Amino acid sequence: MFRKMLSYTSKGGKALIATATLSFIAAELLWAYFLYLAVSTMSAMLGGAAGGIDQILLWGVILLAAKTAFAILADLTKHCAGFDVTQTVRLKLIHKLKSLSLGFFTNERLGEVSTVIHKDVDALEGYISHFLSAMWSDIAVAVIIGVWLFTKSWLLGLCMVSLLPVAALALFLGLKNAQQAQKANGDNLADMASLFVEYTKGMPLLKAFPVASNCESAASENGAFRQKLDASVTAFGDSSRYLSKVFAAYTGRFAVFFELCSAVLFIVGAFLLQSGNITMSVFLYFIIFSAIFYKPFAKMELYFLEYVKAGDSYRRVASITEAPSVRAPQDPKRPAGFDIAFERVGFSYDETAASNGSSAAITARSGLGEGGFALKDVDFTVREGSLTALVGASGSGKTTVTNLLLRFWDVGSGVIKIGGTDIRAMDYDTLLDSISIVMQNVYLTSGSLLENIAIGKKAAAREEIIAAAKKAQIHDFIAGLPDGYDTLVGENGVGLSGGQKQRLSIARALLKDAPIVVLDEITANVDPLNETKIQRAVSALAQNRTVLVIAHHLRTIRAADQILVFDQGVVTERGGHQDLLARGGLYAALWEAQEKAVGWKIA
């Protein structure tokens, strides 16, 4: 376990930990040597020798100054090692998260990932940088002091360690129970954190339905959620209390046997001194230096607790860092063009979850169970530079098609090609660089508007960003703000309307200038004024690009080069707008239903 934990440190971090450990050892041995000189001098003076005090004072000043210097060096290097661990592990997690498939994020909810990145990384950092160096140095010093004391009196040495094996056994026997209790407690904490994230995000809804949120209506959905949250808090409290009892039981037994070791040493030592079998100096050596020898054992309870906690945190961090990434090809290929082909593609969330060993998690968290959604023999081609619309009822497979194109999931059967190249044979970054995405739910960071648009292109010049914003019909709005493009955006775009977020997302896609564009019903939840501006921005984005658009508003895709109609994971119709209307099938029924809804009004 120690070796695995240390794998999360850089070479420089390992060197810092080694330096801290050696510095702690040097500081402790210097202090021990000062005590040795003091005891030896006092014993000599009691035996009738003259002088020695001045020499002890001089050595005391020199040794204490050196000890202080080594202690400062140890503290400095262990803190620097801690910063190295934190940086290394969090960067590793961030890079790993980017390489994982969408399936991982279906399993690991936001609260759980957040708990790992913050709480568990901090726990690992504290254990690796602060506890390991101190523990190793205490053990090394104890071994040196112990060997030296045994040379003075093997009998007192045996008394000194007589009950330590029993004390250590008491802790070892409790290790498995403690690890299980810590795991259950950590799982309950992650679950509670996830539910609190959901609770916070849903606060506007809960305030709109206060009766439900306060559980006065047990049958309501929000009331059920509040009950679930309360149950999670209760479960975490119960597991925390149980964990404390487990720790207290085993550490208490250890403490009893450990304290008895000191008692045996003092009693036997006093008897041997009185009988003349040892000298006063030897007795003093054991009384004084046994405190240094016992130091790692006195801290063993703390080391035990921290080891259990750090081991659980390591398991959680490793669940991300060792999760299977999107498979990378050994010999990546580049596409010859930017047409898109789905060839007899099949896909099932259930099968994909089972292959990852996480069917239960996905079923519980995404609502996909036995007989859930599946794509079946999806076969179509999107010509380079053309626009293809995907239509159909909710849950028919439209978004799944775009997710498969982006390799958020891998197909169960068949193949997806871009420019005649299987996307699984392409480098994943090359694939994503080839595609711009404008989704219905826009993700914005808490930085400035400029930084949010610049996500589309690394090291983009300010002029490029402004040009993209103008094409996206968002420049006038930004220019009218007091701080312009340097205006800070709240978390996830708080304070911006849905239409403004969409146009920022389009500006980002324009800046990226990828040859393929995926649009996910971006005008579904905006007002008519914003819809007009978004349509103009989309027209600019679609020029000379291969476009795949998911559409619910059929009026917006009448001019599409190709319309694919999905029903329960199957492409049931394809063709142009007029052709599909003439067939009188599902597309015609959807069109008729929307046309009737145009004149709908509240009675």
Contact in structure between 320 and 113 (CB atoms under 8 Å): yes
CATH superfamily label, 2-321: ABC transporter type 1, transmembrane domain (1.20.1560.10)
Considering only 75-84, 276-285, 361-370, 409-418, which range has the smallest mean pLDDT? 361-370
Contact in structure between 413 and 343 (CB atoms under 8 Å): no
Give 480-524 pLDDT, tens digit per residue: 989 899 988 866 566 787 788 888 888 888 888 889 989 887 665
What's the whole-number mean pLDDT along residues 386-391?
91
Which residues have a Cβ under 8 Å from the Cβ of 98 and sit 6 or more positions away?
none
Considering only 41-50, 91-100, 373-382, which range has the smallest mean pLDDT? 41-50
Considering only 246-260, 420-434, 494-508, which range has the smallest mean pLDDT? 246-260
Ramachandran angles phi, psi of 562, nearest 5°? -150, 135
- Residue ranges, comma separated, of all CATH 1.20.1560.10 domains in the chain are 2-321
DSSP symbol at 484: G
Average pLDDT of every residue of the chain? 81
Tell me what pLDDT residue 366 has. Answer: 38
Q: Whose CA is closest to 591, among 563, 569, 568?
A: 563
Tell me what pLDDT residue 103 has. Answer: 63
Kindly tell me if the per-residue pLDDT of 178 is higher than 80: no
Q: What percent of the chain has pLDDT over 90?
A: 16
User: Architecture of domain 387-408+424-598 in CATH?
Assistant: 3-Layer(aba) Sandwich (3.40)
Which contacts of 138-141 are long-range, i.e. CB under 8 A and separated by 24 or more positions? 138/24, 138/28, 138/295, 138/296, 138/299, 139/296, 140/21, 140/25, 141/25, 141/28, 141/29, 141/32, 141/292, 141/295
The whole-angstrom separation of Cα 240 and Cα 404 is 42
At position 24, the amino acid (one-letter code) is F
The whole-angstrom separation of Cα 63 and Cα 52 is 16
The whole-angstrom separation of Cα 560 and Cα 576 is 7
At position 413, the amino acid (one-letter code) is S
Ramachandran angles phi, psi of 341, nearest 5°? -135, 125
C-beta atoms surrounding 487 within 10 Å = 14
| pTM of the predicted structure, to 2 decimals | 0.63
- Residue ranges, comma separated, of all CATH 3.40.50.300 domains in the chain are 387-408+424-598
Kindly tell me if the per-residue pLDDT of 108 is higher than 50: no
The whole-angstrom separation of Cα 110 and Cα 118 is 12
Kindly tell me if the per-residue pLDDT of 527 is higher than 80: no
Going by pLDDT thresholds of 50, 70 and 90, the confidence category of residue 218 is: very low
Going by pLDDT thresholds of 50, 70 and 90, the confidence category of residue 579 is: very high
Going by pLDDT thresholds of 50, 70 and 90, the confidence category of residue 110 is: low
Tell me what pLDDT residue 361 has. Answer: 36
What's the whole-number mean pLDDT along residues 134-157?
90
Q: How far is CA 115 from CA 43, 184, 231, 297, 316, in A?
A: 58, 15, 19, 32, 9
Contact in structure between 295 and 143 (CB atoms under 8 Å): no
Kindly tell me if the per-residue pLDDT of 578 is higher than 70: yes
Helix axes 300-321, 164-201, angle to 10 degrees: 40
The whole-angstrom separation of Cα 267 and Cα 269 is 5
What's the whole-number mean pLDDT along residues 28-42?
85
Tell me what pLDDT residue 466 has. Answer: 92
Kindly tell me if the per-residue pLDDT of 601 is higher than 60: no
Give me 472's structure tokens: 């996206």
The whole-angstrom separation of Cα 3 and Cα 128 is 10
Tell me what pLDDT residue 368 has. Answer: 39
At position 441, the amino acid (one-letter code) is N
Edge-to-edge, what's the strand order for the sheet holding 516-520? 435-438, 516-520, 546-550, 387-392, 562-567, 570-575
Kindly tell me if the per-residue pLDDT of 536 is higher than 60: yes
The whole-angstrom separation of Cα 351 and Cα 498 is 35
Which residues have a Cβ under 8 Å from the Cβ of 41 and sit 6 or more positions away?
52, 53, 55, 56
What's the whole-number mean pLDDT along residues 56-64?
83
Tell me what pLDDT residue 523 has. Answer: 60
Kindly tell me if the per-residue pLDDT of 211 is higher than 60: no
The whole-angstrom separation of Cα 538 and Cα 519 is 9
Q: How many helices (H) and strands (E) does the chain have?
A: 26, 10
Going by pLDDT thresholds of 50, 70 and 90, the confidence category of residue 123 is: confident
Give one DSSP letter per residue of 211-278, joined into a string.
Answer: HHHTTSSTTSHHHHHHHHHHHHHHHHHHHHHHHHHHHHHHHHHHHHHHHHHHHHHHHHHHHHHHHTSS
Give Cα 60 to chain centroid, integer Å.
50
C-beta atoms surrounding 144 within 10 Å = 16
Question: Where is pLDDT greater, at 29 or 522?
Answer: 29
